[in-house]
Structure 1
């Protein structure tokens, strides 16, 4: 699995069934109404309203006369009341078989459910080797009930109730499967998760499930059961691990291009659902889909839970892709008197990457960004990438990129950067990622002031009453603890049409260590936010120091802030009205530069000082919504008249 410097929130490995070793289809999200399992009084009302299909094998008020049934071991909370206990001859119909990866086993479902909507009728049976059962087999299983935490308990996620060390008896074959619970906007709640129990460190594990109220409770009440979605819009493109995200609530915070905007911590977009496939790729390739496409027809299979997305529809049958016609965007060319400044996270670029990656990134700069005057790059790696041998220089990386830009019809940019001290700036081990400035010397000049290096801090001086950098390029407070194991901001002084402009390129600390959205702790723990808040303070303070010397100084702060416009770190950057975050000038439905787990969200920002007025700003969507990406981030550009 390629290294992702965690904009993707988690880099945990060691999941027994993990995609970290054999990544394959798997994942899901949320819900709104009660989904009873049998024809009791509650279910009768739902059936009358047309919200549930009649289970094929259900009978009125059926209960087990003898022995433990699946709903008994699942219970009405997230933890099995029988965890750690041996059970014998638990009956069920096999609804899905997983014979790949390190989580081999099968799902089975009780065809005679109880009347409690909180108790799941399905369960995963972990066999560890290829299962010998087939879909449609009626089986009995003896084994030990366990709570398994994908990725380990320390990451904070929920558990999967399963039967381990099983002894399986096939009673009959070719049986009809229990009818799927259809997930749609009518029965998936808008509310995402309950607040955790304050007396139990905000854990939701022991809380009674309320599937009619909270999406996470609904999904937990369906854990291991046969579920179905139909004609669902794709909100997270197919990734390299053969998985995608759809929404079963199509009117939930839609973007103009077909995604779902994540606009507040309290709004987790409960309709998002990850889709994986149980069908071997050799038999049926996983569909390739972009955001805005539709997964047409029915997609059906057991509801799983995994480390890389939480609740997941593992499909036995999967719909076909109907294209939504999404195309990469192209921004306009800057006018003669406009200074165009862009930011682009190029995702761990190093010389060993294929030439096609350099070429596609170059087309992004030349064609889609219209060759900006200044480009702040993030995630430029050293000359041998992930080889951890002490190399820190990145001239080969940057020059290879500049050559690709020229080949794509762009200008021959010049560049400035500062090599970090080996192994001190985070990112992929050995990669030594850093920010770099590209600039078009035909349009803009760089003011070089020597002395800037990995450990020397830049400070603000006054030259004839104008703010100037002590070193250019320079790094802001590189020795401060806020930047430990993180990229230090790169400040540079440029001149456009005789007017100085200070540009500060950033790549704040990642979200590694934060709890996932499906965490058993609610609200989720965002431990990484503390460091980004400290970093925001540092940058905001530096900008205000510039403005203390020159009130009308022209300052552009930009880059991968790794946080949302509504986050504490995002808001702190603008404190004292030192800067204006330009993403807030867009309509809420357009505020995104990155798509994660079906959420279109802001991670990249351009901020400007008040002296620059209300410039023309554009997030240029060319990557994040597409299965075929040059980078996982969308670039953005601002055009200003200094």
Structure 2
């Protein structure tokens, strides 16, 4: 039996035998009975009386405020011993350690078994010991959360931040006992990968800020305020987590009853090391819907990116800072607005802004045809001071690049320091979202961990490899590199299809690689694969972790932020300039 239950069980013997219970000798229904072992109570709608020790006051100051009671008698170990009392007056009138007998109506309040419409509360005793129930991740079953509903729990283990996506909107952080990787980042797709994805749920817990409000201001974590300089990153660690397990329509979470201690275990990375003078550096960066809206009236809101000119200027400033710090000779860009190459285009705007701060100016490759019909395109920047353009800019528009996967762009460059010819291909395959309506098609989710459109992405990889073998730029070279957002994790079919064609996967063997965080899992959607001849010359490969680990609240957007937060959460630095991390490959010949 859990220590918390032992201590309270022993207390009950003395309490029931004392005169204190003279005023609490009425019949009551045990909390265990109210909770039951099903997901909802069998006693819903019934008016009844129950008894328990106050363990916590939660959501104080909100319309959802209440207290939690824990039974002092022993009961069914498969049922929760605690119950939420939804009453704003009780939330402030009663303290942890008080033994109460309460009458009310049983209901499922946002999926949590609760007592509402409180009609009578009697204080039976005070000063009782309240001990949090010890819980350790991973759980043995997701059903454990139902048994913990309403319980005061604590984690003695150090936990790791795995996701901060909802920190800004809801004050929530996903924690786990370790950093969780996307299953298909570390193992082959299939039943085992799907099983690992399900099993990883046992390793996570959502910790709430206890405010019961959207867009909290200020944004607090561990007693600190989130700002552009004071961040909370995925990979940071957390201690002293104690709180009440609450269930709502979005799942289970822990509402802290004491302040968690957040430790900056994953500090922000510095700028990439300066490129050696005679090296060739090639990078790719998904710039997250960089739109300036010049081909529409009015220009804002854009179709995908900034909603206002002010947002665009904030986005551009962060993006430029990140691009300049890459110190790359060639940069492949993804998710640039497909509005041409003219002076008012998004690509021209970005390049002009970049050249105001870059140590060596950039130009962009211009294709002879429009880069597909999608609203976004891929693009290439290069530094004429270090590389020269050779051959033609080539794009592939045939299937499967006529829809879904964006047409790839290839351009050959001569590295001026070594005179080597290198062909760079920048790519953006179809995402896993917007699944086909026909679930019988091969592009539907096969439940193997690869999501939707895997067949299209795999066909795209095969077609890309075949195309590059034809030397589409008109320049013959055995040094080629495939870069970009393939929307596939490392062990998935599209990446494997390229490796099967002898493309060498470039990675840093000394570090765990990831470029993206989604729903509390980390993995690489952005990849670099090179021909064997070029792969031999690789000096370093780096995912510059400036974005995926950072809270979305620190991006350029203005919505859902107070006037103060619009200033405090923003800085024209590279952190959270996008949702993807840049990829940097440095070669020495």
Q: Find the aligned partners of 2:81 and 2:370 in 1 and give their Cα distance.
A: 57
Of 491, 514, 518, the match for 2:409: 491
1:355 and 2:313 are equivalent in the alignment:
yes
1:52-63 correspondence runs (5 A): 54-55=7-8, 59=12
8 A Cα contact 1:223 1:303, kept in partner? yes
Q: Which residue of structure 2 aligns with residue 221 of structure 1? A: 147
1:590 and 2:512 are equivalent in the alignment:
yes
8 A Cα contact 2:432 2:453, kept in partner? no
Q: Find the aligned partners of 1:631 and 1:395 in 2 and give their Cα distance.
A: 22
Bigger CA drift: 537-546 or 160-169? Answer: 160-169
1:240 and 2:168 are equivalent in the alignment:
yes
- SS at the partner of 1:621? coil
1:403-418 correspondence runs (5 A): 403-416=352-365
Q: Which residue of structure 2 aligns with residue 111 of structure 1? A: 71
Q: Which residue of structure 2 aligns with residue 74 of structure 1? A: 35
Deviation at 1:261, TM superposition (A): 12
1:87-102 correspondence runs (5 A): 88-92=48-52, 93=54, 95-98=56-59
Of 383, 390, 415, the match for 1:440: 383
Of 519, 529, 542, the match for 2:451: 529
Q: Find the aligned partners of 1:170 and 1:119 in 2 and give their Cα distance.
A: 24
1:171 and 2:103 are equivalent in the alignment:
no
8 A Cα contact 1:359 1:408, kept in partner? no
Q: 1:404 to 1:549 in 2, by over 3 A?
A: closer
1:140 and 2:62 are equivalent in the alignment:
no
Q: Which residue of structure 1 aligns with residue 208 of structure 2? A: 276
8 A Cα contact 1:546 1:553, kept in partner? no
1:302 and 2:244 are equivalent in the alignment:
yes
Q: Find the aligned partners of 1:392 and 1:100 in 2 and give their Cα distance.
A: 54
Deviation at 1:271, TM superposition (A): 4.2
1:76-475 correspondence runs (5 A): 76=37, 79-80=39-40, 82=42, 86=46, 88-92=48-52, 93=54, 95-98=56-59, 104=64, 106=66, 108-112=68-72, 114-124=74-84, 133-134=91-92, 136=95, 138=100, 140=102, 142-146=104-108, 148=110, 160-163=111-114, 166-167=117-118, 169-172=120-123, 178-183=130-135, 187-189=136-138, 213-214=140-141, 216-229=142-155, 232-236=158-162, 239-241=167-169, 242-247=171-176, 249=177, 252=178, 263-264=186-187, 265=193, 266=196, 268=200, 270-279=202-211, 285-286=220-221, 287=224, 288=226, 289-291=232-234, 293-295=236-238, 298-305=240-247, 310-324=251-265, 326-335=267-276, 338-351=279-292, 352=309, 353=311, 355-367=313-325, 369=326, 371-381=327-337, 395-416=344-365, 425=374, 432-446=375-389, 472-475=394-397
Q: Find the aligned partners of 1:57 and 1:262 in 2 and give their Cα distance.
A: 50
* Higher helix content, 1 or 2: 2
Q: Find the aligned partners of 1:581 and 1:285 in 2 and give their Cα distance.
A: 41
Q: 1:562 to 1:133 in 2, by over 3 A?
A: same
Q: Which residue of structure 1 aligns with residue 460 of structure 2? A: 538
1:564 and 2:489 are equivalent in the alignment:
yes
- SS at the partner of 2:468? helix
Q: Which residue of structure 2 aligns with residue 464 of structure 1? A: none
- SS at the partner of 1:403? helix
Deviation at 1:501, TM superposition (A): 0.5
Q: Find the aligned partners of 1:532 and 1:312 in 2 and give their Cα distance.
A: 33
Deviation at 1:37, TM superposition (A): 6.2
TM-score (norm 2): 0.69
8 A Cα contact 2:56 2:67, kept in partner? yes
Measured against aligned partners, the alpha-carbon deviations of 1:156-192 in whole angstroms (never above 9, x if no partner) come to xxxx443486445433497757421233xxx333xxx
Q: Find the aligned partners of 1:61 and 1:496 in 2 and give their Cα distance.
A: 86
Q: Find the aligned partners of 1:558 and 1:632 in 2 and give their Cα distance.
A: 17
Q: 1:412 to 1:282 in 2, by over 3 A?
A: closer
TM-score (norm 1): 0.64
Q: Could you list the runs of 5+ residues in structure 2 that have no partner in the other structure?
A: 17-24, 188-192, 227-231, 293-308, 437-444, 555-575
Deviation at 1:553, TM superposition (A): 4.5
8 A Cα contact 2:389 2:414, kept in partner? no
Give the aligned CA root-mean-square deviation in angstroms: 4.6
Q: 1:324 to 1:641 in 2, by over 3 A?
A: closer
Q: Find the aligned partners of 1:618 and 1:625 in 2 and give their Cα distance.
A: 15
Q: Find the aligned partners of 2:414 and 2:464 in 1 and give their Cα distance.
A: 22
Q: Which residue of structure 1 aligns with residue 524 of structure 2? A: 602
Q: Which residue of structure 1 aligns with residue 541 of structure 2? A: 617
Q: Could you list the runs of 5+ residues in structure 1 that have no partner in the other structure?
A: 1-33, 40-53, 149-159, 190-210, 384-390, 426-431, 450-470, 515-522
Q: Find the aligned partners of 1:511 and 1:58 in 2 and give their Cα distance.
A: 55
- SS at the partner of 2:431? coil
Measured against aligned partners, the alpha-carbon deviations of 1:301-347 in whole angstroms (never above 9, x if no partner) come to 21234576x53221132134444471314333444554322121223
Measured against aligned partners, the alpha-carbon deviations of 1:546-585 in whole angstroms (never above 9, x if no partner) come to 33779975432222233321334443443x23423324x5
Whose radius of gyration is greater, 1 or 2?
A: 2
Length, aligned pairs only:
493
Of 578, 584, 587, the match for 1:637: 584
8 A Cα contact 2:162 2:180, kept in partner? no
8 A Cα contact 1:181 1:228, kept in partner? yes
Deviation at 1:607, TM superposition (A): 2.0
8 A Cα contact 1:346 1:380, kept in partner? yes
